[in-house]
Amino acid sequence: MTSLPNRPGTGDKLLELDITPLLPAVRDRCQTTGFAERLKGEPTRTQFRWKNEDGTGSRPLGSLAPQRFRDGGGVDVPPELVWRAWTVPEHVKKWFTPAPWVTINCEIDLRPGGIFRTVMRGPEGQAINNIGCFLEMMPSRKLVWTVALRPGYRPADPSFDVPAFTAIVRMEPHGTGTKYSALAIHKDEESRNRHERMGFSEGWGRSLDQLVAHAKTMQAAR
């Protein structure tokens, strides 16, 4: 994603949409219809969010702007272990689902469009099968995945009543630990609020605690 010149009369920068992760057929369609060229001009109200130069003060230009949860802070394990905890199925099963639920299966194909599948089991034996795909990865720095798409970027048909979202997980060295953030982007405010009522943000907080605890056992075993 690259910065375009400042919007006239403001201190904001426009972030240009990077279409390279899209499927080749979709990318070709964007190019033949002139969509990519139009993105380089004046933005429409539903294509972009404006941010200040320092990355703060994000605000929507239109009603289709994403709605977000954010979880993060400093954790006292190095980024390499956080990355492994997120990307190795046997590690994911140890922490991904907030207790008393557990993750009983995990499938990962760590490439753009590759599968990210987890099966969660509740205390009463109920099971939920989550299938999504990875969008972007930078080892030990950034992981982006979504349940809005199936593997191969095929549109998802949700199998249970949980709003679709895209997750952006960032990690970077911070002393001997990691500066960590997890951002969940929902389609709209209604979807975000519905997910919140289901305990989503609280669950992500508990899962982060579980991730750190498991990463410490990984660290002790090295």
Tell me the C-alpha distance between 77 and 174, whole Å. Answer: 9
| Upstream peptide bond of 78 is cis (omega within 30 degrees of 0) | no
Task: Please report the DSSP string for 47-94 in residue order.
Answer: T-EEEETTS---EESSTT--EEEEEEEEESS-HHHHHHHHH-HHHHHH
Highest mean pLDDT among 45-54, 109-118, 164-173, 203-212: 109-118
Render pLDDT for 155-192 as a digit per residue (tens, 0 to 9).
998 655 678 899 999 999 999 999 999 998 988 888 88
Give this prediction's pTM. 0.68
The pLDDT of 127-131, averaged and rounded, is 92
Predicted confidence at residue 160, as pLDDT, reads 57
Instruction: Kindly provide the b/e burial profile for residues 174-197, where b requires at least 16 CB atoms within 10 angstroms of the residue's own CB.
Output: eeebbebebbbbbeeeebbeebee
pLDDT value, residue 195: 85
**Residue with the larger pLDDT of the pair 44 and 133:** 133
CA-nearest of 84, 105, 90 to 222 is: 84
Closest CA to 138 of 80, 73, 96, 219: 80
- Candidates 205, 204, 167, 184; CA nearest to 67 is 184
Dihedral over alpha carbons 131, 142, 216, 174 (to 10 degrees): -160
Q: Are the C-beta atoms of residues 144 and 112 closer than 8 Å to each other?
A: no
- Nearest alpha-carbon partner for 170 in 161, 180, 155, 160: 180
- What are the tokens at 214? 């498991």
Among 41-50, 53-62, 141-150, the range with the most confident prediction by mean pLDDT is 141-150
Q: Which amino acid is at 2?
A: T
Give pLDDT, residue 37.
39
What pLDDT does 3 receive? 39
- State how far the Cα of 219 lies from the Cα of 222, in Å rounded to an integer: 5
Q: Provide Rg for the chain, Cα atoms.
A: 19
Average pLDDT over residues 200-211: 88
Question: For 182-191, how does the pLDDT look when each residue is reduced to its tens digit (9 = 90+)?
Answer: 998 988 888 8
Joined together, the tokens standing for residue 77 give 């394990």
Average pLDDT over the chain reads 75
More confident residue, 71 or 22: 71
The mean pLDDT of 70-79, rounded to a whole number, is: 78
Q: What is the pLDDT of residues 75-126, one digit of tens each?
A: 899 999 999 999 999 999 999 999 999 999 999 999 999 999 999 999 999 9
Going along the chain from its start, the domains and CATH numbers come out as 2-60 (no CATH), 67-221 (3.30.530.20)
